[in-house]
Amino acid sequence: MSAAYVALEGGSVVEARCRAPGTSHGELVFTTAYTGYEESLTDPSYEEQVLTFSYPLIGNYGVREERFEDERVHPRAVVARELTDDVASWLESEGVPAVDKLDTRDLVGQIREGGAMKCGISAGPDASPEKAKDALADCPGMSDHTDIGAQVSVSSQTTYEGGDGPDVALVDCGAKGSIVESLLERDATVHVLPYDVTPAEVADLDPDVLFVSNGPGDPANFEAAEALVSEFVGEVPLAGICLGQQIVARALGGTTEKMAFGHRGVNQPVRDLRSDKVVMTTQNHGYTVAEPGPELDVTQVNVNDDTAEGLESDDLQVLTRQYHPEANPGPHDTLGFFDDVVEMAGEQSRTPVTAD
């Protein structure tokens, strides 16, 4: 096997084993998930990041396309203690550099202490520490990816016909496939729209609910989606997941901020403030809602750090979640969110939406 090198923002270089060759860079983050590696690797929210698995063995149940969340692998590179041949071959076929045989416990500890950091990776026969350092030097920050939505969104409208449920306008900021599937299972018709869809195009659809998806990067860079929410709030029910919650909050006067190392895994505990019940959730985000704004109530919080996990407004018909209720990968504790969205949409008796 060839050598590989991971250059870290703090100045150190870690030697590893090449499992898929190439040179890359990105924001180094980690996930604590021990299953669901296929879902994680195809999650568009990992765009422009280098994904480190804290679980020591990745690939022990093979690679099956039916578990994919998107058509391609999204992290810029992959780091693990040990990758099976199945996963390594898959990543190589995707052109995604992958390395293993390094101390991921130490790497995760550095991220927890210093926060998510830039890194550069050089892997393969011609790999060297210098090439990894050069890749690191070229790495932009996550907030610098001002048009990251274009990398993960559909380029034109795609409609999935459902049953007799509501029409959902899903703004694709990097949507996971299981979000669409969860809505279709509830007989909704889902119109998947580009991340920069215009208010006029949404008005032409006259949807029963406007749904803003998950996605990568800084929510401040999704100005079109934020403007869309501002346009239709109070006129059509609004739902959002992950990045979608952040965009909705910003549109309604709230603020967002970057977290030290984010929430990524399948065991994040969330407490509902009304019932006082705790559920386990799947999460993947590096930004959070700092202040929800005057019109949204925080209804759920993270047990570990009290960050906002659920925002709602009965008056404006808004319902958002920071975690992934579609549970791919992860526990099924929160699948009822989609029932609530469909119910919220079905309760509406309103005039057709219009764009100013």
C-alpha 39 chain-centroid distance: 11
Q: What is the rounded distance in angstroms from the CA atom of residue 281 to the CA atom of residue 279?
A: 6
- How far is residue 151 CA from its own chain's centroid? 13
* Unique residue bearing structure tokens 């496939």: 177
Pair 29, 137: CB distance under 8 Å: no
Whole-angstrom CA distances from 100 to 3, 77, 90, 220, 286 are: 10, 11, 15, 34, 24
For 65-123, how does the pLDDT look when each residue is reduced to its tens digit (9 = 90+)? 999 999 999 999 999 999 999 999 999 999 999 999 999 999 999 999 999 999 999 99
CATH code matching the domain that covers 3-140, chosen among 3.40.50.12280, 3.40.50.1240, 3.40.50.2020, 3.50.30.20: 3.50.30.20
Q: Is 283 annotated as a binding residue?
A: no
What pLDDT, on the 0 to 100 scale, is given for residue 334? 83
* Burial degree of 43 (CB within 10 A; 0-12, 13-18, 19+): buried
For residue 109, say whether it is annotated as part of any ligand binding site.
no
Strands 167-172 and 22-31, sheet pairing: unpaired
Alpha helix (H) residue ranges in 47-157: 85-93, 104-114, 129-137, 149-152
Which tens digit of pLDDT belongs to each residue from 284-340?
A: 999 999 999 999 999 999 999 999 999 999 999 999 999 999 977 777 788 899 999
- What are the sequence ranges of the domains in the chain? 3-140, 149-346
**Any binding-site annotation on 22?**
no
246 is in an annotated binding site: yes
pLDDT at 331: 75
Q: Which of the residues are catalytic?
A: 242, 324, 326
Task: Give residue 328's pLDDT.
Answer: 77
Rg over CA atoms, the chain: 20
Residue the block writes with tokens 């704004």: 293
- Give the pLDDT confidence score for residue 333 in this predicted structure: 81
- Choice among 45-59, 225-239, 329-343 with the minimum mean pLDDT: 329-343
| Burial annotation 230-242 (CB, 10 A radius, 16+ → b, else e) | ebbbebbbbbbbb
Q: What is the pTM of this model?
A: 0.96
- Tell me phi and psi for residue 155, to 5 degrees: -90, -20
Over the range 245-271, which residues count as b (16 or more CB within 10 Å of their CB) and which as e? Answer: bbbbbbbbebebebbebbbbbbebebb
Please indicate if the annotation marks 120 as binding a ligand. no
Q: Does domain 149-346 have CATH number 3.20.20.140?
A: no
What is the spatial distance between Cα 3 and Cα 285, in angstroms, rounded to a whole number? 31
